[in-house]
Chain A
């Protein structure tokens, strides 16, 4: 079993640069959109993977983020609303030599496409899903999304949204995902590290990217990034602390996880992050530190990264195990079946 998500993808014979991954299309997101930073980071990151450019396929759904494939000079399809994971599943199953990406948004992935997202994660098809979460519908001009906070006033919720939002990381962990991470558009270094790790993971990698929509939901993540906010950076093998070590995450005797002042607790109580834990409950508990309303506190980093056979590899193995060398003869034999009879001209 190959362990890298890039295992069967041919390597580039010459070094590639960000420019090689930049298409000739004029980028048409709104000025100040978080998508620009994600695109630029992605293009640079792709060049560092050293794989052949023609072996990358990006499939998107519908929404602002789903314009992404047009701007990256690889193979790509801008498909239909919510269905990108399903289409990408067909691509990945057919071709082990392709590096498959899905670019989607909170509405695309979690609302209309929720079913496909959930099942892609469950199957663990070898692909990476980038979920641009701006907590709003942008392309349709500002309706609340499945990640909008309760009470959100939008064009379709003038009296405030009544829907409980999804936490995409919790959802992915619950859907048996083998790689789940969160990063943020404004931190290029963190974004690069997470995207690289996601690409290298074999199976479905889900990366939630906090992305600012300056037009319809400006500053949705501003508090989080500001002086009052707290980004809790998860680092594998290290105790979960933040605020320069002033705060930490502890596991209480009843099993619950909560934030505490480091000075007030015993060091043994502090949760040590282990992204490779087979049991997903600690990763899930960490995901619940994200606030559902106005974001002041959220963990970022890799929540979960566990080895699990990827579905497409297993499908190909099943076929390879029984596939007959002489296909023409095998087909003739299949078509004839076990019971035939001869008719003479009568």
Chain B
């Protein structure tokens, strides 16, 4: 019987063929781990092809989970443990595994033919090439198949339980609770009793195999992480975004209307909101991206909260309608779950290269607020904030998420909905002006003097009938105007309205525990995790570094300029070629050190740590 050893943190990567159920296996291990009380962060990584040819490198799908007894912020750069279900999964992931790492491998597919398929002349399990790793090789497929022999399954169905066998084995190895998975399998396969029972049997057999095999010298525990008191669930960025949008509409007392078109990696928001008719959400899968945002804007005109969700290529198509929303000054929330570009790029890989598109990607002077979420759970707060700004200021708002946040999951302390302040739509119900004839009139472009938000009257309100549209509007009356002075006034007013939102934006907080940092690392979006983790390591090594993270990219917090000017060096890590850096340099005329990575993956914290140390030390030496 293996003895138990306590660990602080573990990174496990499950890898297999895209038909092997690795995402499900990872999800379940994550759910067990989250309910046990560890902090978690996950990184699913899958091919865009639904079923690439079996056993090939392009067909490899993986799921990485980082869990710990302390607060963690990334899914980990490199795994400690690689679970490889076939030769391709081993080959594709081996280069990420540090020497000394653990490999648990299913030997079933290590035939000459399968090895040749991926260009391996020799079997690495036998030729000694894996001697630098701790290798645990089992015929998981045969073990799983044997464990389900009593059920009347086809050979193929029987072998497909191997992922549950592996999950059972790993659950034993890391002392995970199993009730959740048993309940999950019971519910998922309720209508297929044979498949249900076989999966449960394979899962239990995998767990029991760990007990009896004696192959493992140790069994591990990772104690729960300290977390603020409360009720938690695990949540992905896309689901958190969906909930933030529902909550925003609920708090505003408005019907949530989603117009969307399927696109990776944003579709899960459409899926989640489509399920939510129980809370009154109306969803519309449109014929294209343009119709999706058009219908959302139409819904807003009709007095709903219109929302559209997409990714970069969809943003390009929606640009004209977003411009119409700027001109008509209607609330609209546009969520861009960024992916690698340009063009179709790498749909399942992450990037944050749509910032300049969000800020400037429309014809004419068309400013609008831009927000970015920093983590999966932060997607909830950011989406809620986007709804608040959209309704309060009568403006389209772009929320930037990305593929990494969309699919990655982490524990989330459930919000108390009663504590979230209401959003007041302040619909006009009465005339707000007197026309030239002295009659009461409704001027749709009459503005709230504090917010510059225009009057919003929903159709059906008697006496406030009015027409709006894409043509330039006369200030106050909203009639068509080609007057030169009026156009300048309206252009400046739209900018002032955008700038005025800064009154609602909290000052940017700088995290510098020592108070002695001369280098500021400024981030936005999902680089929050790697930046925070890298800075912790830098500080542990005795160096001071300051951190700040922007949620509000347009307008930016009022104190940002002062902060930028108070450091000797400002480093901006981005998964693009320096888009925030461009904006900061233009706006604040400060030198910015760019730090760009565009590999379709989150920035490596190990690399960032080393580079930050170099930057900090260079500054010291130069002094």
Residue among B225, B328, B413 making CB contact with A77, cutoff 8 Å = B328
B286 contacts A330, C-beta separation under 8 Å:
no
Kindly report which residue of chain B lies nearest to residue A320, judged by CB atoms: B277
Closest Cβ–Cβ distance, residue B381 to chain A (whole Å): 13
Interface hit among A94-102, A221-229, A237-245: A94-102
Q: Within B275-303, which residues are at the interface with A (CB < 8 Å)?
A: 276-282, 284, 286-288, 290-292, 294-303
Judge whether B369 is part of the interface by a CB distance below 8 angstroms.
no
B232 contacts A79, C-beta separation under 8 Å:
no
Closest Cβ–Cβ distance, residue A94 to chain B (whole Å): 4
Kindly report which residue of chain B lies nearest to residue A328, judged by CB atoms: B417
Contact code string A107-119 (vs B, CB < 8 Å = 1, else 0): 0000000011011
Give every chain B residue within 8 A of A330 (Cβ-Cβ): 278-279
Judge whether A256 is part of the interface by a CB distance below 8 angstroms.
no
Residue among B35, B250, B278 making CB contact with A328, cutoff 8 Å = B250
Judge whether B190 is part of the interface by a CB distance below 8 angstroms.
no
From known contacts A94-B255, A334-B246, A340-B233, infer whether A54 and B295 are also in contact, taking CB-CB under 8 Å: no
A94 contacts B35, C-beta separation under 8 Å:
no
Judge whether A344 is part of the interface by a CB distance below 8 angstroms.
yes
B459 contacts A79, C-beta separation under 8 Å:
no
Residue among A80, A315, A324, A336 making CB contact with B321, cutoff 8 Å = A80
Judge whether B414 is part of the interface by a CB distance below 8 angstroms.
yes
From known contacts A80-B320, A90-B295, infer whether A332 and B466 are also in contact, taking CB-CB under 8 Å: no
A80 contacts B480, C-beta separation under 8 Å:
no
Judge whether A46 is part of the interface by a CB distance below 8 angstroms.
no
Contact code string B298-328 (vs A, CB < 8 Å = 1, else 0): 1111111010000000000000110010001
- How many A-B residue contacts, CB cutoff 8 Å? 214
B interface, how many residues as a size bin? Answer: 35 or more
A340 contacts B231, C-beta separation under 8 Å:
yes
Closest Cβ–Cβ distance, residue B474 to chain A (whole Å): 12
Residue among B37, B415, B459 making CB contact with A98, cutoff 8 Å = B459
Judge whether B247 is part of the interface by a CB distance below 8 angstroms.
yes
A116 contacts B287, C-beta separation under 8 Å:
yes
Separation of A341 and B282 alpha carbons in the complex (Å): 30
Judge whether B443 is part of the interface by a CB distance below 8 angstroms.
no
From known contacts A57-B459, A90-B284, A91-B301, infer whether A334 and B278 are also in contact, taking CB-CB under 8 Å: yes
B417 contacts A332, C-beta separation under 8 Å:
yes
Give every chain A residue within 8 A of B227 (Cβ-Cβ): 343, 346
Separation of A75 and B225 alpha carbons in the complex (Å): 57
Closest Cβ–Cβ distance, residue B234 to chain A (whole Å): 8
Q: Within A10-25, which residues are at the interface with B (CB < 8 Å)?
A: 23, 25
A343 contacts B461, C-beta separation under 8 Å:
no
Give every chain B residue within 8 A of A57 (Cβ-Cβ): 301-302, 459
Judge whether A248 is part of the interface by a CB distance below 8 angstroms.
no
Residue among A87, A323, A337 making CB contact with B277, cutoff 8 Å = A323
Separation of A57 and B465 alpha carbons in the complex (Å): 9
Give every chain B residue within 8 A of A89 (Cβ-Cβ): 284, 286, 291, 294-295, 298
Separation of A332 and B246 alpha carbons in the complex (Å): 11
Judge whether A190 is part of the interface by a CB distance below 8 angstroms.
no
Contact code string B223-263 (vs A, CB < 8 Å = 1, else 0): 01111111111110000000100110010000101010000
Judge whether B342 is part of the interface by a CB distance below 8 angstroms.
no
B297 contacts A319, C-beta separation under 8 Å:
no
From known contacts A86-B298, A116-B294, A324-B279, infer whether A54 and B461 are also in contact, taking CB-CB under 8 Å: yes
> Can you offer 30 A-B residue contacts whose CB atoms are under 8 A?
A54-B461, A54-B462, A75-B466, A77-B301, A77-B469, A78-B468, A83-B294, A86-B286, A89-B291, A89-B298, A90-B284, A90-B302, A91-B302, A91-B459, A93-B257, A93-B284, A94-B255, A94-B298, A98-B460, A319-B282, A321-B277, A322-B278, A323-B279, A327-B250, A328-B417, A330-B278, A339-B180, A343-B231, A345-B228, A346-B224
- Extra A-B contacts (16), CB below 8 Å, given A94-B302, A319-B282: A59-B298, A75-B466, A75-B467, A77-B298, A78-B467, A87-B297, A88-B298, A89-B286, A89-B294, A90-B306, A91-B299, A93-B295, A98-B460, A319-B277, A337-B233, A346-B225
**Partner-A contacts on B (CB < 8 A):** 31, 34-35, 37, 180, 224-235, 243, 246-247, 250, 255, 257, 259, 276-282, 284, 286-288, 290-292, 294-304, 306, 320-321, 324, 328, 413-415, 417, 459-471, 479-480
